[in-house]
Each structure stands twice: as C-alpha cells, then as structure tokens.
Amino acid sequence: MFSYETLKKILFLFDPEKAHHIAECGLKTVGSCKILKSYMEKKNYINDEKLHQEIFGLKFENPVGLAAGFDKNATMIKAMKSMGFGFTEIGTMTPMPQDGNPKPRMFRYPEQKSVQNAMGFNNLGSHAVLKNLKKVYPFSIPIGVNIGKNKNTPEEFALSDYKSLIKKFEKYNDYLVINISSPNTPNLRDLQNEKFISELFTMAKTLTSKPILLKIAPDMEANQAIELCKTAISNGAAGIIATNTTIDYSLVPNCKDFGGLSGACLTQKSSKLFKEIARELFGKAILISVGGISNGKQAYERIKDGASLVQVYSGLVFEGPSMVRKINQEILELLKEDGFETVSEAIGANLR
C-alpha cells in the first residue's frame, strides 16, 4: 500500500481541481467496494462511547465531520465512514446546475498548509444531487445538506432559491445549512444582514421540521457576527457553523486576490471568532466549529470553547485519510488527561 506522503507527491503533480477529481474517483471506488470499504472503516473509524453524542435527536458516534465543499454532488457519501467521519455535509448545491467561476480557481500553498478556492458553487444542480442523495439516505452517519443561491439569481429573489431547496431536500437530510457566507458568489455575503436572515429562517421553519443551521464568514467584526447569529437563533436556527473561508489575503504571502483561503492560515482567525460567538451563544444553540482544524489538539480546544461538533476539509489535502482517525484518537487522550469521562463533559469547559 502507498503511504499518503507518496500518494500526495503524485496528486500534487496535478492541478488541485484535477487532483480533487482523482480523489473523488478513488472514494467512489471505496464506497462501491464492500471489502475495501470495510477494511478502511475498521482502520479509520473510531467508535468509542466516550465520543458518542445525541444532537438534533441524531446519534453522532464521533464529533469530527466533513465540511461542505468537498462532496458537492453527494457522490462520495458511501466512503465517508471509511474515512473516519462521524458525520458528513454535502454541497453547497444550488437550484439550477452551474459551472462555477472560470478556471483555474483552486490553488495550493504547501508551505502554509493552506488552500485558496474560487469555485463559485459549481454543482450539478438540485435535481441531480437529490437523485444521488436518494440512493444512500438515510445513511449510517448523519448527513447535512448545505444550500445556496444560484449566481444569476438577483438578491431580491434569493429567498425563492432557498425556499425551493428546503422543500426539495426536506425528506432527505438530517440537518440543513444555509450558506450565505461564501466569498465566491458575487454579493452573496451581502445577505449576511439581520433583515434577510430573519425572513429566511422564519420562512424556513414553515417548510421543515429538520434542524436548520447558519454558516457565517470569518471576516466580519465579532459584534456583527454575534448579532446575526442571535437573529438567526431567535427566528428558528438550531445551530451556527463558524466559519467559512476568509478573504483576508494577508494570511498567505503572494496568494491570489480572489476566492477564499482555508487550511492552517485560517486556524487563528476562525478560532478567535468562534470563541467570541460561543461566549454569547453557548447553550442557546448547537455550535459547530470549522476552519483550520487538522489535529486533535485544535479540535479539542474548539470543543472546550463550546463546539459540540467540528468539521475539517483542507487539512485532508495535506494530512491524508488517516487525519480523522488521529484527531479522534487525540481527543480521547486529551479527555483522559483532563479527567473527562465523555466528550459531552468537555464541551464548553473553557466557558465554565
């Protein structure tokens, strides 16, 4: 078997988007091969009662999930447990298919262990994604569905895009995520205002009983982020996901001046905003932390800061498929060091 370091050298010979397609083909193969899937699941999936939680009435056997953006079209779900994930999130998908932004639109920065993407919600559209999702839902781990508006939908009609997606996926998700924080759809972040969020969640609650979460950007002031989150929660949001990618281009030398940065460069910025949000909102909604998490110590700190769950994505590019297993193993070791019997006991420990 190749080590990931060897495989990474091969993958890094390709354009990042091409490498992602190769990884997708590999994971689709894993998902369709029972022997391979079983082998990888035994190797990577940590099922320890100390990590079990019940959230939204669902069982999460470990707190590490795949963030949106990796499995845009719901083609890799069958392999996610084999990768070690306790839950997965598909999307972002839009009502109509869209190609996304012009290529090249994804860039690696190996020295900073960071990635920059300007994909622009490229996806097959809600009809095709739903068709893929129906083949696997319900699954052995929870599945979140991340939704966004089409690029060509004017701001004044954005609500109708979200409405159609919520109705379409209502029966085929364990939780929904409203994405108005991607930097890659023109003017999308303008929807991060209290009026739109209030209207959106009020409307959404009339369409579904499933938990609906808001995903926010890391680039706003903490006070503004907190007020937006409060507005979402008061209008029915079950949780907050913080944060999306950043447009703070000072974090990576000589990076592009478009798209969103993620990976290690985002760790500090995302962690700082998450702490601010958690100080105000812990206990009032489920909080999920994402952004620059690639090891157990980082994940555990977010948990102690108030995160019930964490998500990863860019770290996989540099650390490989064993990353999730290592994170969960490290969380178990850190729980033991701190004298906690379960991960639930550790959630919000830094706030007490």
Which tens digits make up the pLDDT trace of 166-188?
999 999 999 999 999 999 999 99
- Cβ neighbours for 40, distance < 8 A, ≥ 6 positions apart: 30, 79, 82, 83, 321
Q: Known binder of ligand: residue 78?
A: no
pLDDT band at 323 (very low <50, low <70, confident <90, very high): very high
pLDDT band at 133 (very low <50, low <70, confident <90, very high): very high
State the pLDDT at residue 224.
96
Is 292 marked as binding a ligand?
Answer: yes
Taking residues 316-343, what's their average pLDDT?
Answer: 98
185 marked ligand binding residue: no
Convert the pLDDT of each residue in 35-61 to its tens digit: 999 999 999 999 999 999 999 999 999
314 in a labelled binding site: yes
Q: Is 263 annotated as a binding residue?
A: yes
- Residue 138: predicted pLDDT: 98
Which pLDDT belongs to residue 7? Answer: 93
What is the pairing mode between strands 58-60 and 53-55? antiparallel
Q: Is 196 annotated as a binding residue?
A: no
Confidence band, pLDDT 50/70/90 cuts, at residue 198: very high
Span 94-115, average pLDDT: 98
Using one digit for the tens of pLDDT, what is the confidence trace for 238-252?
Answer: 999 999 999 999 999
Q: Is 162 annotated as a binding residue?
A: no
Q: How far apart are CA 110 and CA 116, in angstroms?
A: 11
Using only the alpha carbons of the chain, give its radius of gyration: 19
Write out pLDDT tens, residues 224-243.
999 999 999 999 999 999 99
Position 1 confidence tier, pLDDT thresholds 50, 70, 90: low
pLDDT band at residue 221 using 50, 70 and 90 as cut-offs: very high
CA end-to-end span of the chain, whole Å? Answer: 46
Q: Return all residues near 89 (Cβ < 8 A) that are at least 6 apart.
A: 65, 66, 67, 68, 71, 143, 144, 145, 146, 177, 311
- Choice among 126, 182, 271, 289 that is catalytic: 182
The verdict on whether 250 is a catalytic residue reads no
pLDDT at 2: 67
Ligand-binding site membership of 121 (annotated):
yes
Q: Each residue of 296-329: b (16+ CB within 10 Å) or e?
A: bebbbbbbbbbbbbbbbbbbbbbbbbbbbbbbbe
157 annotated as ligand-binding: no
Give the pLDDT confidence score for residue 192 in this predicted structure.
96
Tokens of 174: 């364990």
Amino acid residing at 232: A
Cβ atoms within 10 Å, residue 31: 20
- Half-sphere exposure of residue 106: CA atoms within 13 angstroms, side-chain side: 19
Nearest residue to 213 via CA among 182, 166, 243, 178: 178
Give the start-to-end residue ranges of the domains of the chain. Answer: 4-351
Looking at residue 168, its pLDDT comes to: 98
Q: Does the annotation list 245 as a binding residue? A: yes
Report whether 119 belongs to an annotated binding site.
yes
Whole-angstrom distance, CA of residue 84 vs CA of residue 148:
27
The topology (CATH level 3) of 4-351 is TIM Barrel (3.20.20)
- Total Cβ atoms within 10 A of residue 293: 30
Q: What are phi and psi of 262, to 5 degrees?
A: -145, 175
- Residue 239: its pLDDT value, please? 98
Percent with pLDDT over 70 in the chain: 99
